[in-house]
Amino acid sequence: MTPQTSHSGQDVPARVLVIDDCVDLHRLLKVRLGAEGYEMIEAVGGEDGLMRARRDTPDVVLLDLEMPGLDGFEVLRALKEDPRLQDVPVIVLSGLDSPGDKVTAFDLGAIDFVGKPFDMAELRARVRSALKISSLMRMLEQRAQLDGLTGLWNRAYFETQWANEAKRARRHDHPLSLAIVDIDRFKDVNDSYGHPAGDAVIQGLARLFQRELRGSDIACRYGGEEFALVMPETSPSSALALCERIREEFGALSWPRHPGRGVTFSCGIAGARGGVPVDPADWVEIADSNLYAAKRSGRDRSIMTDLTPEPGIRQAS
Amino acid sequence: MGQSGSDGPRGSALLTSSFAEDPAYAGLIRRFIAGMPERIREIECAVDASDVDRLRVVAHQLKGAAPGYGFETIGAAAGAVEAGIEGHAPASIEHVRDDVRVLIERCRSTLPGQGANAA
């Protein structure tokens, strides 16, 4: 996944989850908000609402406070404690409108509070506003995770995603591979042809990653001329084949600022065909030491370690 | 507010939604009115059983929903019932009997054939 493809869901209608024990209210909101093009999800109580939120991941929640069983405050607390749902904006829609109730709702993380009875035009505007704020927050968050020169994800994003992917692969016993790529003799390029030439090389490699990697792969700029490629559902041998293909393409590129001088990269790969109990940080270290082994053994090559039982080391150049 | 009809007791004019002229609300209002006999029965049952908690829930829901269908006076009457219950501890049906009567009358007056129009 490169940042350019990460918001493919923009044309999907926003999902509005209404958690309220009043059937009349559901019917009203379903028709009147549904007419705005939203996909409406109904939950008639707190427990049901939490279940639907976890299952359907809504874009905004309209939450009643006074409900039998799990009340709105408890639902709000649970939503904000769930890492997958804590950023979903919650508009409290309630007949409880004392200052104390409002303060509690905002302190628990509600983005807005609308008293019942409410004006439909006002509610529609508030839903639009909550969705807009949420979208802007996501955009800001994404920008903070992007590398300015290449448009790839940055190292901070890598750290989070790598830990998540490693955990997921181990839990589901799925393949996962990691490659660390470093441009060979990059300092020479900079010193000989200037920093713009070096930047062009970095950008050229980033474009190759964007073109060659699958949508589910994650390409990050790890450091100056170093990149990390997270490849979920990819065995180490497949990762090696992919990195080798990219390495060959990169080596064959011609650079307008130094047409007579090609550039290569070295690559260290560590992967597993199933979830192996290797700490994510150790996994990175293994890929990194393979990278340096590739450098030491002559550069312009990839070295891979298969971390699944009976590991073996293979070298390609 | 575009509601027509008075807030008076049984025998008053038919109470219509303030959104009656808005085609987007036509089906919604029809269904809301169709559910009115059941709502009235629920209120009467809660009163007969002296079930204050149940009555408060029904009134709370009507207070929140009825204005959304253009029946602001029903919402206000339901709000008075809820406030009457919450204003007494412990509350009893006697504390809100008059407010309940007004609420039931307003609910009934949405039903064709129940108000003065039918008299």
**Residues A15/A56, Cβ–Cβ less than 8 Å:** yes
Main-chain phi, psi angles of A123, to 5 degrees: -60, -40
Q: Where are the domains of chain B?
A: 23-111
Contact B60, A66 (CB under 8 A): yes
Beta bridge partners of residue A231, listed in sequence order? A177
User: Residue B12: its pLDDT value, please?
Assistant: 62
Q: When comparing pLDDT for B6 and A188, which is higher?
A: A188
> CB–CB of A28 and B68 under 8 A?
yes
CB atoms within 10 A of CB B117: 14
ipTM score here? 0.82
Domains of chain A: residue spans and CATH: 3-143 (3.40.50.2300), 155-316 (3.30.70.270)
Residue B20 has pLDDT above 60, yes or no: yes
pLDDT averaged over every residue in chain B: 86
Q: Mind listing the pLDDT tens digit for each residue in B40-65?
A: 999 999 999 999 999 999 999 999 99
Give the chain B residue nearest A122 (alpha carbons).
B68
Helices (H), B1-119: 26-34, 36-48, 52-65, 72-86, 97-108
Min CA distance, B103 vs chain A (Å)?
Answer: 16
Q: Is the pLDDT of residue A293 over 60?
A: yes
In eight-state DSSP terms, residue B25 is G
Interface test with A, best of B32, B58, B60 (most A CBs within 10 A): B60
Residue A101 neighbours by CB distance under 10 Å: 19
State which residue of chain A sits closest to B61, comparing Cα positions: A22
For chain A, helix, strand, coil in percent to 5 are 50, 20, 35
Confidence of residue A18 (pLDDT cuts 50, 70, 90): very high
Residue A133 banded pLDDT, cuts 50, 70, 90: very high
A149-191: pLDDT as tens digits: 999 999 999 999 999 999 999 888 999 999 999 999 999 999 9
Chain A neighbors of B56, CB-CB under 8 A = none
Q: Which of B27, B62, B68 sits opposite A120 (nearest CB)?
A: B68
Distance from C-alpha of A39 to C-alpha of A155, rounded to nearest angstrom? 36
Q: What is the pLDDT of residues B102-113, one digit of tens each?
A: 999 999 999 987
Lowest-pLDDT range of A118-127, A134-143, A195-204: A134-143
